[in-house]
Structure 1
Amino acid sequence: MFLHKKGRIALVISLFVFAAPVLPVCADELDDFLQQQQELSQKQNTVQSQLNTLTNGAEKMEKTIDTLKSQISQAEKDLTAKENAYKLAQKNVAVVQQDVEKKTEELEQRQVTLQKRVRAIYENGQVNYLEVIFNSTSISDFISRVEYLGCLVENDQNILGGIRGQQEELKDKKAELTVKLAETEKLKSEAENAKTYLSDRKGKQETALAMNKKQQDDLITQIEKLEADSQALGAKIRQLQKDNPGVKGSISTWPTPGYWYITSPFGYRTHPITGQNKLHTGCDIGAPASAKIVSAGTGEVIFAGWYGAYGNAVIINHGNGLSSLYGHMSSIAIANGAAVSPGQTIGYVGSTGWSTGPHLHFEIRQNGNPVNPLGYFQ
């Protein structure tokens, strides 16, 4: 939308500076108007430069937003994976917790049994040994009974040690799983923070982009105001030139000696900058940077300077409503108001203004209306 408006503005302002011959009798007033026209063109160029900067900035922000969208999508996938890992860790801890509870219950029961047995031995130990002595039928039987009691106590002690070992093992396993659960929770939290950060950046970029677009709208409004002022000055210039014959000349010389290749002819085309289907008001001649540009005929320079989308440009009045324009120069070699002859050097090929590479934009206008320049060289 913005490039479309800029293209329209750049083409419109070219319609009203060189529609008719210069008035000798009103030279001072005409010079004043031309100076005002140049100042307006410079202001418009400044605003267009600002608009170009904003447009480039908007393109970068849009690319950043697209990148952030991709990163957010990846962050969401990463967060989902971390959440699933966290849920699995929670499930594992819950399963182990159930095992711990079962084992603890089992161990508590075994410990109660052992405690009862130890208590009985402690409380009735002497009686048991007396019973062993009195109930023994022989020395061999007595020794066997004593060994049995010793083995029973030793076995009880071994069981108690095993219980303690299992308790420690369960505690270690539970602690390990708790650590893993904490790790997965931390990773999940980091993934959430990453997604939040990226979403926040995307929101700020979108806000900045919206502000950028508003600034572009404001600048386009300024450009349209400058265009209206410039049209008003153009009307005054044409009024001064209206009833006077001015310079008498013609178009007779090709403007780029040695370079004839037409890279873009006169007529409707897709504009290389705006992408819009617009009338190409002249023809583009392919030539290397700094190649010489000459006047196409006898006339008087009515403009020499920066001219909006044309960049460095020269406009020559040839009389009888005929004028020629030479755009995108790298430098200008002629002064405003100078009389020129066919083949005289007026500047050098460049790529200033709205241009995608070195070339000469060559226009011819009859009574302000663009005509095909090639019609003068057939």
Structure 2
Amino acid sequence: MRRVFAAALAVALLAPLTAGAATRHASSIEQRIREQQRHMRDVQQRLHDKRGELQQAQVKVRDLQSQLSQTRGAIDTTRVRLRNLEGKTRGVEARLAWNQRQLDAAESSLNLHRQALARRLASMYENGDLGYLDVLLGATSFSDFVERWENLRLIVRANQQTVRDRQAAEARVASLRHDLEQTASQLADARAQQEQAQRQLGALADERAQLVALAQNQRNHVAGQVADLEGLSAQEEAALERLIVERQREEAERLERERRARAIAGGESPAGAPISLSWPLSGPITSPFGLRNNPFGGGRMDFHPGIDIAAPTGATIAAAAGGHVIYAGWYGGYGNAVIIDHGSSIATLYGHCSQIFVTVGQEVQRGQAIAAVGSTGMATGPHLHFEVRVNGKPTDPTALLH
């Protein structure tokens, strides 16, 4: 009896010291958790900003690529027009060659008419108007007179026709020359305009291609920064996870020491009773524990470390059992999350919350409101992701829910 009393007295004397040391150590871990939360929030904010910057850079690249595509399309259209003009030019050149031959023939005919008219004018000048009368008076008979008269009439008509032919040939030559010169001028102007347009569009395409290259480089640079921040975020989450596991282990050790102290003092059995959890929320399970199709697509399977309970945004989330809040805040893909240590190396996690009503270090009771349903983090819609961890490892919550 004396030994039992002595042992109980020793426990009573040492328990406050042990509890005080454990409390100080737990407080230190909780402080480190809060600091890690701040680091995570900072990284997440920077990552959010960079993702927004990356999205803007991607939009800029798409816009510039669209403009470049339009410019290249305009260049192709201009090239088609130039080819059409070249075809028309070849056609006009063929007509020009044909018209030149016609022009040469017209000028040759004109020269012949000019020569014939010149000869007639020279003859008329040499003989005078009396030449025609002498021809008529020199007739030896009436029939000869009539024949000479007819010949003279034909000569006069031929002279008149020669003049008319000359005038028509001159007019035709002038018209051909005008048409050819006008067509050639129009084609030259059109070709010059299209060539200028092609040069301008080519310069614009080069400029826009440079802008696209610069925008792509900027996008790739920002994408690299996003990748770096995502890696840093993963490291920060892993560090936070280690701190949470350490805090949970320390809390479990503290509770175990207290339980053993009570057992020694009062004869209580050192074996711990299994914990029973209450449903944190009413609603259907939309995604069970274990392997499932990734909800974000891609046709791949992933491991779901908890259960998803459907509920509207703002619905109250209750603590599944009494315990100690060891985490409350942003938790990567979980979004806003709460983690409660219930002792016996068991903790529960409540993810994707829209609001959090508790703080780290707070003691909560079973059924106490701790958060509100939301869709923060990696979520496809409003629901509660409920997770049970035993010794830091996820286990099927339905085995403990009652």
TM-score grouping bracket, smaller chain normalisation: 0.7 to 0.9
Match for residue 278 of structure 1 among 285, 302, 308: 302
Taking structure 2 as the reference length, the TM-score comes to 0.74
Structure 1 equivalent of residue 98 of structure 2: 99
Match for residue 279 of structure 2 among 254, 259, 275: 254
Whether the aligned pair in 1 keeps the contact of 2:291 and 2:303 (CA below 8 Å) is yes
What RMSD over aligned residues (CA atoms) do the two structures have, in Å?
A: 3.6
Structure 1 residues 361 and 243: alpha-carbon distance in aligned structure 2, compared to 1, 3 A threshold? closer
Q: Pairwise mapping of residues 102-181 of structure 1 onto structure 2 (< 5 A)? A: 102-128=101-127, 129-136=129-136, 137=138, 147-174=153-180, 175-176=182-183, 178-180=185-187
Structure 1 residues 63 and 377: alpha-carbon distance in aligned structure 2, compared to 1, 3 A threshold? farther
1:291 aligned onto 2:311: no
Paired AA for residue 321 in structure 1: S
Structure 1 equivalent of residue 381 of structure 2: 357
Taking only the aligned residue pairs, the percentage that are identical comes to 21
Q: Pairwise mapping of residues 1-378 of structure 1 onto structure 2 (< 5 A)? A: 24-54=23-53, 56-57=55-56, 60=59, 64=63, 71=70, 75=74, 78-79=77-78, 81-128=80-127, 129-136=129-136, 137=138, 147-174=153-180, 175-176=182-183, 178-180=185-187, 182-183=189-190, 186-187=193-194, 190=197, 194=201, 197=204, 201=208, 204-228=211-235, 231-232=238-239, 234-235=241-242, 238-239=245-246, 242-244=249-251, 245-246=253-254, 250-257=275-282, 259-263=283-287, 265-272=289-296, 277-377=301-401
How many Å separate the matches in 2 of 1:190 and 1:266?
65
How many Å separate the matches in 2 of 1:336 and 1:84?
77
For 1:295-350, what per-residue CA distance to the aligned partner results, in whole angstroms no more than 9, with x for missing partners?
11111222222222222221212122221221222222223322212222122211
Paired AA for residue 218 in structure 2: M
Of the two, which has the highest radius of gyration?
2
SS in 2 for 1:284: strand
Structure 1 residues 224 and 191: alpha-carbon distance in aligned structure 2, compared to 1, 3 A threshold? same
Whether the aligned pair in 2 keeps the contact of 1:247 and 1:318 (CA below 8 Å) is no
Paired AA for residue 121 in structure 1: R
How many Å separate the matches in 1 of 2:32 and 2:297?
30
CA displacement at 1:89 relative to structure 2: 0.9
Higher RCO (Cα < 8 Å, 6 or more apart): 1
SS in 2 for 1:289: coil
Whether the aligned pair in 1 keeps the contact of 2:51 and 2:226 (CA below 8 Å) is no
Structure 1: gaps spanning 5 or more residues:
1-22
How many Å separate the matches in 2 of 1:188 and 1:277?
59
Structure 1 residues 260 and 240: alpha-carbon distance in aligned structure 2, compared to 1, 3 A threshold? closer
What is the number of residues matched between the two proteins?
356
Structure 1 residues 199 and 350: alpha-carbon distance in aligned structure 2, compared to 1, 3 A threshold? farther
